[in-house]
Structures are given as C-alpha cells and as structure tokens.
Amino acid sequence: MLGLFKSHRRRELLAAPFPEEWRAIVERNFPLYMRLPEEDRIELEGHIRIFVAEKSFEGCGGLELTDEIRVTIAAGACLLLLHRETDYYPDLRSILVYPSSYIAPTTEHISFGVVIEGTDVRLGEAWTHGAVVLAWDAVKQGTADLYDGHNVLLHEFAHKLDQESGEANGAPPLEHTSMYVTWARVLGEAYNELRRESRFGQPDVLDAYGATNPAEFFAVATESFFEKPAQLKRKHPELYEELAMYYQQDPERYLEDDASEAPSD
C-alpha cells in the first residue's frame, strides 16, 4: 500500500508544472542544466520536484533553509539519476546543510586496540545510512564552475550511489552481474595509475584525492566525468566509457561546444 501511494504521489509531482522560480534558481546556480538537451532538462526538473518533496533538509550552524538551497542541491543530486531506473537514493533521509566548512569528530583505530579521536574540517560527507552533509558555500562554488572538476555536490551523491551496494567501495550496483568484471578492471587500472602519478606529484585530469581509496576514486571520477568529460575521455577512454554506461549519459557531447573555453590541465 505504501508503495502504491508513493508511486501515485510521484506521478502527481511529475505532472505538475515546474515552478518558474525554481527554474530560475537552477539556471543561475547550476549552469550545467543549460547545457543539457531539452529532454534531459525536462526529466531533471521532474526528478527535482520528487527529490525536494521526499527528502528532509535541515539547516545547521545557524543556516536558514531556502528554496534556493533545496533546489540547487536537488539539481546536482538528480543529475546523477538521469536516464536510469531510480528510487531517489532510498537510504537517504536527510540533507544537513552548513553555511560553510564545519568540524566533524573523527575516530582512528590503530594497532593494539588504540583509538585516536580528533576533529576534521569538512566540506561534505555521505553517511553510510541516512544523511548527506554539505557546506553551502562549497556547493555554490562547485556548481558555478563547469570545468574545474571539483563539485562537492556530485562527489557526495556519487558516494550515496556507491553505498547502495551495501558499502562505499567504488562498485555501485550495476545492471548486470557480468558488468562487474570490466568495471573492476577498468576502474582498478585507472585508480592504480592515479596512485602512481599522485606519488610523484604528476598532474592528472582526476584529482589526487581519488587515490585515497576506491570509493573516493569513484566519487572523484564522477566529478571529472561531468565537468571535464573531454579531458577524461582523452586520458582514460575506457574509464569514460564505463562511467557513460553507468550514468547513461555522454557529457562530452553536450559540453563539446564549450571545450575551447575550458581551462587545460
């Protein structure tokens, strides 16, 4: 019964006109929207309506929530859902938004049962269960620049997709079991290459933070896929094709007219 109600509610949301004030927010804060084909923009608008209706947003650190915050975050989260069957991050309940970078407690387990507790300054994080945490100023900065390859919004929601397999390990659920063999080979090779290059400080289209572990590699690769598609395809063609297969999108195609304006690596 709950599933039928949810489906009916979603159909109603998709049938309703997209608010003009929301469209103005997306156009202003999420310029990638304007590069999408028209049918993709329409699909994205429908996803945004459902995401905003179903997810809880909480302002932290004194931040007052507005439609600008909700809609901008929803646009980035839902870009990753285009063209695919989705239940809108089913494990995600809340998006916690701070005005800027925030301090989070950390726990490090080392040998012989010793635990070191401390704090860390963060711009975002994706909890294994329930929530995504974001710094609003970092969200705005990341979405404003189409070409820098840094987008905390895409990064953290890529983690949420990854976690749908049970844990963040760089292997989100794929459509067919047979796909995991190629996925593991291609992403594993690119990950190891990034680790080697990062060790010697060599530049790469992928941010060096992706060398931290396979989960961070997938999130960083997602950022580059959507913001540096031409460069990523030249440097890592197989990685680009795997991500294009997974996301069912080809951002190089709709950003190609702007390629000459993008800063080179």
pLDDT of 134-162, one tens digit each? 999 999 999 998 888 899 999 999 999 99
Q: What is the pLDDT of residue 111?
A: 53
Count of all residues that appear for the chain in the document: 265
SS3 state of residue 120: strand
**Model pLDDT for residues 214-228, shown as the tens digit of each residue:** 999 999 999 999 999
Q: Domain locations in the chain? A: 17-261
Whether residue 113 has pLDDT greater than 70 = no
At 1, the pLDDT band (50, 70, 90 cuts) reads low
SS3 state of residue 95: strand
Q: Give 119-128's long-range contacts (Cβ < 8 A, gap of 24+).
A: 123/152, 124/152, 124/153, 124/155, 124/156, 125/156, 126/156, 126/157, 126/159, 126/160, 126/163, 126/168, 128/163, 128/167, 128/168
Kindly report the average pLDDT of the chain as a whole number. Answer: 89
**Model pLDDT for residues 66-94, shown as the tens digit of each residue:** 999 999 999 999 999 999 989 999 999 99
Cα separation, 113 vs 262, in Å, equals 49
User: What CATH number was assigned to the domain covering residues 17-261?
Assistant: 3.40.390.10
DSSP label of 65: P
Cβ–Cβ under 8 Å, residues 80 and 40: no
Cβ–Cβ under 8 Å, residues 101 and 122: yes
Single pTM value for the model: 0.89
